[in-house]
Amino acid sequence: MTKIDWQKEVDSRKDDLLKDLFSLLEINSERDDSLATDDAPVGPGPKAALLKMLSLGDRDGFVTKNVENIAGHIEYGEGDETLGIFAHMDVVPAGSGWESDPYKPEIRDGKVYARGASDDKGPSIAAYYAMKIIKDLGLPVSKKIRFVVGSDEESSWQDMDRYFAVEEAPDFGFSPDAEFPIINGEKGNNTVRVLTEGTNGEALVLNSFKAGLRENMVPESAKAVLTAKSDEEAAKIEVEFFSFVEAHPVTGEVKRNGKEITLEVVGRSAHGASPQLGINAATTLARFLNTLALEKGAKAFVNSGDLVHTDFYGKNLGIDFKDEKMGELTMNAGLFDFEDGQEENFITLNFRYPQGTTPDVLEKGVQKALGEDVKAQKSDRDEKPHYVPMDDPLVETLLSVYEEHTGNPGFEQVIGGGTFGRLLKRGVAFGAQFPGAVDTMHQANEFMAVDDILRATVIYADAIYRLVK
């Protein structure tokens, strides 16, 4: 049998691959519940990107299926077993700080810049083209290949809930939504909401405190509006605020109108699974506000935010935990919402937890640490820790392909980020970020190197074919 030159096949399709990638990146596929309808369950953007991806499958002669404009699949081959490849078209909000329009993709210095370039449209198109090459070459397969496309991975996974309500799960598979050489373990994922009353004392009033775009993103900016007893007190707070900002790795801005004063802090966003890589503007602002004479619910709110400042591993809350195989628990304070008089005010603490602890333990620990002035409430949706052993044939095959194409040793990894790989008992995440590459997922100026996209396509094509031939 003639050996297939996967690199040659990928190189010959480079221009088409990048053209199709750009067509996906140009779609703003942020979830928008304010525009959600029965026809667009998580908003028009994710729907548009999903339909575009499925249209590529139609164009290339695959069997496609659209599940209620929230998920779908592109399918090839026949067989008693099905290999699932799980990708997603939704993206986290672009946020600020971009040097170019996040939805007008550009190639600069050999890198594709756009929201979704590395998470997950770049890796998705790489895996799709890998499947396309197998079809184009008419290679014999003994199993079905199903490229499953989601549109709500960055939020609540409604897409996969709906998809699996009407479709059978593949037997094994991977998600091109993480790192090489492989991710065969993922920590559990649960969010504990810290609830406080929207009350104030008679002196200094916290009118509002808003921060964060998603539970799984480190808040880049935070804003609080206060009403002081006097103009003089407001002026004093302004001076103290600027002194505070100078002592911390953030920038700050003040707007003052008599007794009313608006404080804004800007830090640096990062993926919620790695909160230590960001600078949390919300907890930083809470630390400052906790030095002021706030009372009642407002005091409980800022005190909670202050206590979790730089507490990436839950040590201040007494819930830190480490497992030998899965590593440390991490915690991201992602959303802050307080308004004077509002019934339910909250801070979200998103936990990525290893085997050995549970959401019940986390909820009780948060409650104990923050006290009776708040209510800790764990999420009903819980993603439990997931692990596929190294001796599983799926893991062995994927690592073997990676090693052959890179010359580097394969090794197992456990991450805090949750991928669609965990949807299957024999499911992993496989690429597309290479070791040593800069991780810009969920950050401003997200990019993926063109060469890395093409290298990933080569690896995916060889791996998929070995798994199904």
25 and 119 in contact (C-beta within 8 Å)? no
Encoding tokens for residue 314? 């839950």
Reading the block at residue 55, the tokens are: 């249209």
d(CA 317, CA 329): 12
> In angstroms, rounded to a whole number, what is the distance separating the alpha carbons of residues 460 and 299?
53
Residue of 388, 393, 407 whose CA lies nearest to 463:
393
Burial class (CB in 10 A: 0-12, 13-18, 19+), 78: exposed
Q: Are 410 and 403 in contact (CB under 8 A)?
A: yes
Picking from 45, 257, 240, the residue whose alpha carbon sits closest to that of residue 155 is 45
Question: 205-211 and 330-339: which strand pairing?
Answer: antiparallel
Question: Measured between alpha carbons, how far is 55 from 27 in angstroms, rounded to an integer?
Answer: 14
Angstrom distance (rounded) from CA 130 to CA 143: 16
Active site positions, annotated: 90, 153
3-class SS of residue 21: helix
Angle between helices 393-406 and 450-468 (to 10 degrees): 140
The amino acid occupying position 122 is G
Distance (Å) of CA 462 to CA 96, 131, 143, 452 = 38, 10, 15, 16
Which H or E element spans position 83? strand 82-88
Report the candidate in 430, 339, 399 with the shortest Cα–Cα distance to residue 130: 430
